[in-house]
Structure 1
């Protein structure tokens, strides 16, 4: 029996469900956190060396573009943590049915964005 499969996939037309977005964003946020870790550690190390360098650090992170980047890192951390908890439950076969999986994916997206707005608003 021969199946007729498409010769190419039109990726923009494929509709990815929300659990798929959560999974992809979990991987992306992990990669972003991993790649940003050396820069963040360098900045924090410099801020602890002397009071002069601490003031330089404060003036550096006062720039709005840097603040947006740090809020992006905050979102990456919060999304990665929330999605990681969700995936731990999926690993022990809790919430694997379709309705629950979609609901928990929506909860992860909402909670990570809400926490980012709340914490980012306080830190801005």
Structure 2
């Protein structure tokens, strides 16, 4: 077969896209997002050390609607990565590897991540009198 006629990604013809594949890709994406979010966390901590003016600037950035949206996304990424990581730990122990259990644990990981994110934000707002 000539090089120009060969498929670039032969696995695309072998595997069909599945829910568990999407969750695996999402696990990697949330890992990257957590790394980027950690850089912003370090920025916030450095601003605390840099003094009141730098801290006020960082707080203003975080309190803006894009800042809160990123913080919400970071929270969701954290909880999804955590819940899906637990799922992978069970798999490493040889549990839940059949297709039905893998699909169900994926749904549970997503549902738990959403629920834990909402609970985290509710707790944050409730403890700060509705202002975050």
TM range (shorter): 0.7 to 0.9
In 1, Cα distance between equivalents of 2:49 and 2:95: 44
1:122 Cα deviation (Å)?
3.9
Q: Which residue number corresponds to residue 119 of structure 1?
A: 120
CA distance in 2, matches of 1:115, 1:76: 11
TM-score, normalised by the number of residues in structure 1: 0.78
Structure 2 gaps, min length 5: 1-6, 125-131
Q: Distance in 2 between matches of 1:119 and 1:36?
A: 17
**1:85 alignment counterpart:** 86
Instruction: Could you tell me which runs of 5 or more consecutive residues in structure 1 were left unpaired when the two chains were aligned.
Output: 1-6
Q: Distance in 1 between matches of 2:37 and 2:54?
A: 20
Of 103-112 and 45-54, deviating more is 45-54
Deviation at 1:41, TM superposition (A): 0.6
Deviation at 1:118, TM superposition (A): 2.2
Contact 2:44 2:55 in 1 (8 A): no
Normalised to the residue count of structure 2, the TM-score between the two structures is: 0.74
Counterpart Cα distance in 2 of 1:83 and 1:103 = 12
Is residue 34 of structure 2 the alignment partner of residue 33 of structure 1? Answer: yes
- In structure 2, the partner of 1:53 is 54
Equivalent residue number for residue 109 of structure 1: 110
Output the CA distance in 1 between the equivalents of 2:97 and 2:28.
Answer: 19
Report 1 or 2 for greater relative contact order, CA contacts < 8 Å, sequence distance ≥ 6.
Answer: 1
